[in-house]
Amino acid sequence: MKKAHKRLLKLLAALLSIGAGATIFFSIFKDAMVFYYTPKDYQHRPIEKNKTIRIGGIVQQNSHVLYPKGGGRFIVQEGNDTILVEYSCSLPTLFKEETMVVAQGTFNDEGQFSATEVLAKHDENYAPLPKNCLEEQVNQW
């Protein structure tokens, strides 16, 4: 066999090995690579009950209700699809209606999401504080 044929066979064997490894890797970690599910994903794809996952979407306007003994609930939406989220954890300071949130928790048998952690997404627009505002903050410290 010529040297060129041996190199070609080695190259094909290496490519097949890499392809097989990538296929195995992605099939094993398929569900773990999803950062969060959206309400649309939940409506169109079955998600196991009592499995810890993350859901994300926009907090629906006028949906946030605080419970007197702590915790509360809000609705996460994407288009026309929604998920009711109940939480007993503290909310981040950036949490407000009509903003993006990601909640970690589990679905119960009734299809409600019980959050153990809520993360609020900030916008990507950073702007410096006005000079007088910065001076006021320094003076407060």
Phi first, then psi: what are they for 23, rounded to 5°? -60, -45
pLDDT of amino acid 125: 59
| Torsion of Cα atoms, 14 then 17 then 21 then 23, to 10° | 110
- pLDDT recorded at residue 31: 60
Q: What is the CATH number of domain 39-120?
A: 2.40.50.140
Inter-residue long-range contacts of 92-99, CB under 8 Å, 24+ positions, other chains counted: 92/118, 92/119, 92/120, 93/120, 94/120, 94/121, 94/122, 95/59, 95/120, 96/59, 96/120, 97/59, 97/60, 97/61, 97/62, 97/63, 97/64, 98/58, 98/59, 98/60, 98/61, 99/58, 99/59
Q: State yes or no: pLDDT of 75 exceeds 90.
A: yes
Average pLDDT, the chain: 80
The pLDDT assigned to 15 comes to 92
59 vs 122, residue with greater confidence: 59
| pLDDT at 138 (0 to 100) | 47
The residue ranking higher by pLDDT, 2 or 106, is 106
Extents of the domains making up the chain: 1-33, 39-120
Higher pLDDT, 42 or 18: 18
pLDDT in tens, 32-70: 666 788 888 887 877 778 788 889 999 999 999 988 888
pLDDT of residue 35: 75
Which residue is associated with the tokens 């109940």?
86
- The reported pLDDT for the residue numbered 24 is 86
